[in-house]
Amino acid sequence: MLYALLEKFGDAESKKKFKEVFNITEIGKMILADGIAKGIEKGIEKGRK
């Protein structure tokens, strides 16, 4: 919910600060790890082609 409010009403500096704080939370770390894993999978697929 906080993300949605920030997306709608936040300025660039507020979004930057939110991103910094979010990245150190457990859920932020989980989302980052998922993104990295998906990127690696896509890179491997592309490399095979």
CA nearest neighbour of 18 among 30, 31, 5: 5
Beta-carbon contacts of 37 under 8 Å, excluding residues fewer than 6 positions away, are: none
Rounded to whole angstroms, how far apart are CA atoms 19 and 11? 12
- pLDDT for the residue numbered 33: 94
Give the model confidence (pLDDT) of 10-42 as tens digits: 899 988 888 888 888 998 899 999 999 999 999
Rounded to whole angstroms, how far apart are CA atoms 17 and 40? 27
pTM (global) more than 0.85: no
- pLDDT for the residue numbered 40: 96
Q: Are 18 and 6 in contact (CB under 8 A)?
A: yes
